[in-house]
């Protein structure tokens, strides 16, 4: 919808040639009406631009959210893989220690094993590895 210029409303006002209508008052009313229509159209256009910008931003945020969910799934898969790998290493080391004899064995308390597992699951396998090495070195 396009706004009619103020001259159109002035022409309408001057076209009102009834004897009981005050021409000056009609012109003022038409000009005021034209200004109000222009103001409303401007506000609607601004609101429309704002809504379109928000729609675009929402679409970008949804795409980012999808990408982040995919990355999180990949990281969880990697963490699971690392946890399984470390569990395998712990089992191998445990077998080696058992072969060396019980007197040289390093006993790892269950809560420490749980901590290693938790560190791996939250994505800190290197911290778990450092703590495990420190524990093994302290036991030698």
Task: Residue 30: count other Cβ atoms within 10 Å of its Cβ.
Answer: 19
Residue 140: pLDDT band (50, 70, 90) is very low
Are the C-beta atoms of residues 33 and 9 closer than 8 Å to each other? yes
The pLDDT, as a whole number, for residue 34 is 83
pLDDT, tens only, 45-80: 999 999 999 999 999 999 999 999 999 999 988 888
The pLDDT, as a whole number, for residue 64 is 96
What 8-state DSSP symbol labels residue 123?
Answer: T
pLDDT, tens only, 112-129: 767 767 777 776 677 777
21: left (phi over 0), alpha (psi -120 to 50) or beta: beta
Give me 52's structure tokens: 């379109």
Work out the percent of the chain whose per-residue pLDDT is above 70.
65
Q: pTM here?
A: 0.44
């Amino acid at each position: 919808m396009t706004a009619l210029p103020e001259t159109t409303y002035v022409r309408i006002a001057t076209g009102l040639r009834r004897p009981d209508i005050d021409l000056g008052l009609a012109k003022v009313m038409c000009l005021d009406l034209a200004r109000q229509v222009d103001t409303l159209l401007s506000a609607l256009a601004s609101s429309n631009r704002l809504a379109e910008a928000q729609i675009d931003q929402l679409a970008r945020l949804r795409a980012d959210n999808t990408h982040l969910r995919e990355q999180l799934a990949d990281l969880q898969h990697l963490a699971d893989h690392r946890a399984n790998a470390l569990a395998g290493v712990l089992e191998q080391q445990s077998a080696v220690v058992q072969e060396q004899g019980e007197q040289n064995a390093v006993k790892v308390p269950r809560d420490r094993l749980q901590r290693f597992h938790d560190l791996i699951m939250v994505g800190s396998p290197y911290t778990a590895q450092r703590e495990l090495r420190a524990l093994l070195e302290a036991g030698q």
